[in-house]
């Protein structure tokens, strides 16, 4: 079987595939007993980071902002990600929309949430404060830290 041969030799394959009427560069790799296909981009389709850097306005970051950003990263590091909390509910939302339309019910427009624009420093302070509050007060070994219950993220 091709998948076994690729796995034994630790090889992947490049190829071209037609998707949506266009030819795409793809990477084919073994994934268990199946083949996984990853769509790649040609170099001409990519923008260099250097061009993005020139478009950004020059900014100076204060030492306090750097310290707060470091605290935020440190407080969020080391937590295991529960991938089952992240799911795509687009199909469910589309089904609900279609059912409402078929039943002649008006479709409610999503409410626009206005959120205040915060200064970066204020936003970092709030994030660090909430992250510090969520941490246990006694020192616990990182492997024994209790998991926080997080609500699943939903797409709009």
DSSP type of residue 134: H
- Kindly state the helix (H) or strand (E) to which residue 31 belongs, with its residue range: strand 22-31
Q: What pTM value is reported for the model?
A: 0.38
The 10s digit of each residue's pLDDT in 91-132 is 988 998 999 989 988 877 777 777 777 677 777 778 778 777
Q: 5-24 burial, b if ≥16 CB within 10 A, otherwise e?
A: ebeeeeeeeeeeeeeeeeeb
């Amino acid at each position: 079987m091709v998948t076994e041969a690729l796995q034994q030799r630790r090889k992947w394959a490049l190829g071209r595939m037609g998707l949506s009427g266009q030819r795409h560069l793809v990477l084919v790799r073994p994934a268990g007993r199946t083949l996984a296909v990853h769509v790649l981009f040609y170099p001409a389709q990519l923008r260099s980071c250097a061009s993005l850097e020139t478009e950004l306005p020059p900014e100076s970051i204060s030492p306090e902002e750097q310290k707060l950003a470091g605290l935020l990263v440190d407080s969020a590091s080391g937590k295991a990600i529960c991938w089952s909390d992240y799911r795509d509910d687009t199909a469910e939302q589309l089904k609900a929309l279609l059912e409402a339309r078929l039943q002649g019910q008006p479709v409610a427009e999503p409410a626009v949430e206005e959120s205040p624009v915060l200064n970066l420093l204020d936003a970092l302070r709030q994030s660090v404060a909430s992250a510090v509050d969520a941490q246990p007060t006694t020192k616990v070994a990182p492997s024994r830290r209790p998991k926080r219950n997080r609500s699943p993220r939903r797409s709009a």
